[in-house]
Amino acid sequence: MGWFWGASDSNNGEKSQDPLRDLDPSLRDFLAKESPVKYSSSNPPAAPETAPAHTPSAASKSAVPEHPSSAPTEPKLPQESLFKDGRYAHLWKTYQPQAEAEAEGKSDQEKINDVLEGYKYRKAEIGRAALENCALEQWQVNECFRDGGWASRLTMCRAENRELERCYLMQSKFLKGLGYLSTFDRPPELDEKIQMHADTLYHRMLEQEKATEAAKAEGRPVPKFPPLLSSKSKNSVNPVDGGRLQASDLKPKVQEGFKKRLEGLTAEEREVEERAIKAEIQAGVQVAEQLGSIYEKQAEERRIRKEQGKETIGDKITSILSFR
């Protein structure tokens, strides 16, 4: 049984390099319609089958000059090249992006620090984006303290502060549920689209809550709304073994903490909270995969040095500590 989001589909293939792979399907559709920049997946759909061409006759073969079977292919140029017609191709043969050149010169400890710092940066970016989406609520709090009535000042603008606090918390959860916490590299304009979509979903949730309260006050049946976040998300949690993360894989204390976060929430808030929890686990798994690859590389390098008789003191200490 899955953790909150139910059973999962089998996914044994290689991971897609699509920058939209960790986003909610509804957000993917929104970006495809509204974004002026089109992001293409690395796995394009197969081309439709075309009708077989007619076999040319002998007369037509003699009339048309034969072309060599192996036509020269145009040299592949990186995206940084401004000339896509092949000019200056010889200058790009030895080109290496700056990020790759810097990564090769880093030590393993620096790479580990980069992975951890990247995760912390994404968490900080969620807080910044949530505050930007709650600019109106912040303005209301400032106006309350500056020009509010004596009753508002006496209560330290409690109502306005509650609105700001709820806006910040829910915006953060929407951003997490839409894949903003993912450490997978994305263009900056795509992050901005995710931020705008999270703000749209939050105000849609407020409108649904007002409609529900009005229906209860008037004695009408409560209207049913579609889910704010799609129930079928491709933002799945993929552990290192290729399976899906189950509730039994989490520590009991972690499970209790997640259950407490779901207590006393409305249906809309519970849906968003579950997706936020799922995104947090997904981000943790991504960090673990990145760190695991670095540790495996370190172990392989130590093994090679030991076979060559070049084992260092640090290698011996590491091997002793690893057996404890």
Full pLDDT tens readout for the chain, 324 residues: 444 444 444 444 444 456 666 777 777 777 777 666 565 555 444 444 444 444 444 444 444 444 444 445 555 666 667 777 777 777 777 777 777 777 676 777 888 888 888 888 888 999 999 999 999 999 999 999 888 888 887 888 899 999 999 999 999 999 998 888 876 667 788 889 999 999 999 999 999 989 989 999 999 998 888 888 864 433 333 323 334 445 556 677 777 788 888 888 887 888 888 888 888 888 888 888 888 888 888 888 888 888 888 878 877 777 776 654
Interatomic CA distance for residues 201 and 184, integer angstroms: 23
pTM given for the model = 0.60
